[in-house]
Structure 1
Amino acid sequence: MTTRLQRVARAFATMLVGSLLGAAAPAWQSDNGDGTYSNPPLWADYPDPDVIRVGEDFYFATTTFANSPGLRILHSRDLVNWTIAGHVFPRLTGSPAFDLQGRGVYRRGIYAPSLRHHDGAFYLAVTPVGLHTRLCRAVQVQGPWDCHELDREAFDPALFFDTDGQAYIATSVSSDGTITLLTLSADLRQVTDARKIHYIRGAEGSKLIKRDGTYYLFNAIPRRLGMSISRARSLQGPWETIDSINTAQTGGHQGAIVDLADGRWWGFVMQDQPTIGRITNFSPIFWKDGWPVWGTPEAPGRVPARATKPVQGQPPAQPATSDEFSEPVLGLQWAWNHNPDDAMWSLRERPGHLRLHAGPAADYWHARNTLTQKGQGPFSRNEVSLDFSHLAAGDQCGLGTLGKVNGQLAATRGPDGLSLQWRRIVDQGDGVPQTTEEGPRIALTGPRAELRLEMNFVRKQASLSWRPPEGAWQRLGDAFELVYDWRTGTFQGPQVALFCFHAGSGAGGYMDVDWFHFSDLPVALPPGSASAP
């Protein structure tokens, strides 16, 4: 049986083929084209998954932290090939920190949504960190969503509609482990009852479903990166609890199961990785003694590296990556770091380009209007064509990463004209100043340049290159680490970042982005040249 590592090896073995392909290519493709798939379907940071089925369609809601728009929802017809359906929150609301006032809300914001479909509409519960729980409703998953707040903060809420239509929320936080059941009013605007129904040491990330008259409660156990499953004939209990899979040995933690149209069940589970962040794996499920078991009877209790697709016949698909910026709206793959200042960016001022104005900021960590998309594994090459003609003195604009370790190429304007500089910025956590390492400035011979970010999540490092139009690529600066750390940085895997901010006095200028091209194959380098990162 082909393993995930063998697939990675094949990907790197095809680097020579990459030179024959166009500048843009799709992300990692999980669909093997022979009726099977390899985990993960999305080799990117899609954490805290909640997955539902509506007819023949599957929907996947995921955490987005301080990214705006907030709370991404994906769509699939087979649980393997996913595209982006939309976002629930056009902007983040409830705190000025969402506008990056002060230090912002890095590692906070939108967490662990719960998505359900009931009586012809989509419903979603989410609790922004430190704020009250929000309940949202939409007829179409693309929105618009109508939201209101409850009178309390239900951590990692598990929204559930019983067969009689009564709505509940199950909630628990790992520092306690008590699972509380909230009963909601018919209009979902009030909590009419709250009672403790179960206790599991360290439990959070609840998911609640019902199958054949039995309730199943899934909980993440962060202290051991595992999952527990509980069952009961009544929501009030008594509950039986067993341990299920875990990240270290069997495939992940925090997830649940979703039914297929033919009555089978499939599991989804989150797995922490040290470079790209938290990925979501999918697994067949079989039932034993009334309990769901990840894997197959031949290989129980483990998320398989390769399995038969749950639904056959669907074509390969992946979330969008490359962008020519020729549409009047941003592609769904993009997200701003915190809410943008909408007066400081445009797709209309220069048609066919994204214009990023340089707003004032003390440093990169406090800069608004940094535009991001997810880093993709196992390897991704991200290239961008930029026009620096209108940079002002004090502007810092270019391409890099956003995360724990931030490597970047920043263009600036000085007395001698435009130059490009390599930087490595490391966030040390709340209250500890970031550290910055800088390389020499490279003079630009003209206002246009193409920049390249290569991210190798197997080797755990990235590198940056540049070239003048039609010129040769030149590596600039040292390779830098790709790191996922929930305690510092963004609590996300490294993101690709287009940035433009003004750190000097006076008014800032702007940078124009002509195109962004993505490929998942390393560059074919000439013999004797430096290897890909």
Structure 2
Amino acid sequence: MRLTLLATAAALGACTFAQAPAAAQVWQADQGDGTFRNPVLYADYPDPDIIRVGEDFYFATTTFVNTPGITILHSKDLVNWEFYSHVVQRIDGSAAYDLEGGNGYRRGLYATSLRHYRGMFYLAVTPVGLHTRIYYAPDPRGPWQYHELDREAFDPGLFIDHDGTGYIATAVNSDGTITLLTLDRDFDRVAASRKVHFVPGGEGSKIVKRNGWYYIFNAVPPRMALTVSRSRSLFGPWETREQLDDRTGGHQGALVDLPDGRWSGFVMVDAGSIGRMTNLSPVFWEDDWPIWGTPEAPGRVPERARKPIDGVPPSQLASSDGFTQASLGMQWQWNHNQDDSAWSLNERPGWLRLHAKRADNLWSARNTLVQKAQGPRSRAVVKLDIAGLRAGDRCGFGTFGQYSATIAASRDPKGHPFLRMSVLESTVSGPREDVRIAEVTISGSDLWLAANADFTTDKGSLSYSLDGKDWVPLGGTFPLAFAWQTGTFQGEQFALSCFNTQSEGGSLDIDSFILQPGDPE
């Protein structure tokens, strides 16, 4: 039944997407009865930083080497989120971000901090190996500009006091010393630097202010924990208390105030192959200390709770796509800076076209288009036209991450189309490919491919169809994993790819991408 429904959805894709992308219906945090369940985002949205401006909430998250980078989400109630913008269109500072002379996986743009002051949004980020930047824009939809400081502040925690003075709190867990950088009036120069506190193993500092108290929240990765320190002065002295850990809710985050004066907490939790997910919690106060959870169940992020703000209908982040718009949806990112000469939404209206450029393997191929897989289980189906492929092309669909499993279409020297299933594992010594199925001869140019990701078992599988109705599994199951040392430092993603192992190749046309709940592997 599931395959028939998916095939029908794919066949009707062009008509459906002409109206609007289909809802994913994989995970719904808003329960529709005034409550929500955690995680609010069952996908990899790491290093969250959330602020409120009036009645609007904005969420900035790490994107590493994916572009466009630094995703901004928007919400009216902290539970139902929508894509709003990307701050950085292309990552500069290294040729590796163009996949030249190496790659940028596990580098790029890490933990950011987002703030708003007198009509201007500010975002601090430190590209790996480069100096800290302060991006700014009157509207979070951009365009954004930036000032570059004269030093590298790890995981910069930007804070703007009531008098307009800007500060950055920074610490590295191997040291744990929190250094406070005072910025000049224009936030383009460090005017002073002072060590103000010590949290063993601390990093990812976030500063908030309430009732004359300053609070610094610090992640402690060695213990997967979150602490909070408070002081009447940013320069101390500070006193510190434990907050949470991954067993009770998460280990990196902070607080955001609500329009009525209440507070909510947000925190990320490591969750295996899906990556780092975001949890939301009510927060109450005792003796000017924040307590996560409720008075009935303190010190723990609840699995289910009342929504912070009522009246917002349930919604989900965009995922499915019919490629009918003039630009890519914000759910999509490239694996590195894209080559704009090798993709198009205009050459065949209503289709995304990827041109095959020379690459040794998927790990070194540009213009791999990815979006986050969703938990607990998700199934993505794409409809393709492979008429434009040439010999040597490897163009298809699958997963991307520590294990990148792909069904790729190609042509033999006589021009006959065939499918190849392989699993590329990222290792310390480089990518290692396991060719599960070397060649399956097919006919015609229409092709449907499906990828299943089960994050309850950390297993995935792929299948193909020539008519959108009858599906053939290919290559068996494969692992799903999160590995910051060798992978992408992200949860497993779904990926559309097209490259040629010999020379400049042909092209792949993508008609639709549909994301739906998956079945157990």
The superposition leaves residues 187-226 of structure 1 with CA deviations (integer Å, 9 ceiling, x where unpaired) of 1111000000001111100001110100000000010100
1:189 corresponds in structure 2 to 188
2:176 corresponds in structure 1 to 177
Note if contact 2:454-2:518 (Cα within 8 Å) is conserved in structure 1: no
Does residue 511 (structure 1) correspond to residue 508 (structure 2)? The answer is yes
Which residue identity does 1:216 align to in structure 2? Y
DSSP-derived class of the 1:381 partner: strand
Note if contact 1:25-1:520 (Cα within 8 Å) is conserved in structure 2: no
Note if contact 2:3-2:471 (Cα within 8 Å) is conserved in structure 1: no
| Cα distance in 2 between the residues matched to 1:206 and 1:238 | 16
The superposition leaves residues 242-271 of structure 1 with CA deviations (integer Å, 9 ceiling, x where unpaired) of 111000x20100100000000000000010
Shift in Å, 1:37: 0.3
| Cα distance in 1 between the residues matched to 2:44 and 2:419 | 30
Q: 1:487 to 1:218 in 2, by over 3 A?
A: same
| Cα distance in 1 between the residues matched to 2:317 and 2:99 | 27
2:99 corresponds in structure 1 to 100
2:289 aligns with one of 288, 291, 295: 291
2:18 corresponds in structure 1 to none
Shift in Å, 1:165: 1.0
| Cα distance in 2 between the residues matched to 1:21 and 1:271 | 37
DSSP-derived class of the 2:509 partner: strand
1:493 aligns with one of 473, 487, 491: 491
1:85 corresponds in structure 2 to 84
Unaligned runs of 5+ in 2: 11-21
The superposition leaves residues 500-531 of structure 1 with CA deviations (integer Å, 9 ceiling, x where unpaired) of 001114x3111011111111253xxxxxxxxx
2:472 corresponds in structure 1 to 474
Shift in Å, 1:301: 0.4
TM-score (norm 1): 0.93
Does residue 254 (structure 1) correspond to residue 252 (structure 2)? The answer is yes
Unaligned runs of 5+ in 1: 1-13, 523-531
Shift in Å, 1:19: 6.9
Shift in Å, 1:274: 1.2
Which residue identity does 1:62 align to in structure 2? T
Shift in Å, 1:463: 0.8
1:148 corresponds in structure 2 to 147
DSSP-derived class of the 2:193 partner: strand
| Cα distance in 2 between the residues matched to 1:520 and 1:92 | 33
Percent identical across equivalent pairs?
Answer: 55
Q: 1:183 to 1:98 in 2, by over 3 A?
A: same
Q: Which stretch shifts more, 453-462 or 152-161?
A: 453-462
The superposition leaves residues 362-389 of structure 1 with CA deviations (integer Å, 9 ceiling, x where unpaired) of 1110000000000000111101011111
Does residue 225 (structure 1) correspond to residue 234 (structure 2)? The answer is no
Note if contact 1:208-1:216 (Cα within 8 Å) is conserved in structure 2: yes
TM-score (norm 2): 0.95
Which residue identity does 1:456 align to in structure 2? D
Which residue identity does 2:420 align to in structure 1? Q
Note if contact 2:4-2:469 (Cα within 8 Å) is conserved in structure 1: no
| Cα distance in 1 between the residues matched to 2:431 and 2:281 | 42
Q: Map 1:36-115 onto structure 2 (within 5 A).
A: 36-115=35-114
Note if contact 1:377-1:456 (Cα within 8 Å) is conserved in structure 2: yes
Note if contact 1:28-1:376 (Cα within 8 Å) is conserved in structure 2: yes
1:5 corresponds in structure 2 to none
| Cα distance in 2 between the residues matched to 1:283 and 1:29 | 16
| Cα distance in 2 between the residues matched to 1:190 and 1:433 | 41
Which residue identity does 2:355 align to in structure 1? H
1:399 aligns with one of 391, 397, 400: 397
CA RMSD in angstroms, aligned pairs only? 1.6
Shift in Å, 1:98: 0.8
Shift in Å, 1:433: 4.5
DSSP-derived class of the 2:427 partner: coil
| Cα distance in 1 between the residues matched to 2:56 and 2:374 | 25
Count of aligned pairs? 508
Shift in Å, 1:289: 2.0
Note if contact 2:283-2:293 (Cα within 8 Å) is conserved in structure 1: yes
Note if contact 1:15-1:521 (Cα within 8 Å) is conserved in structure 2: no
| Cα distance in 1 between the residues matched to 2:199 and 2:336 | 35
1:520 corresponds in structure 2 to 517
| Cα distance in 1 between the residues matched to 2:4 and 2:306 | 28
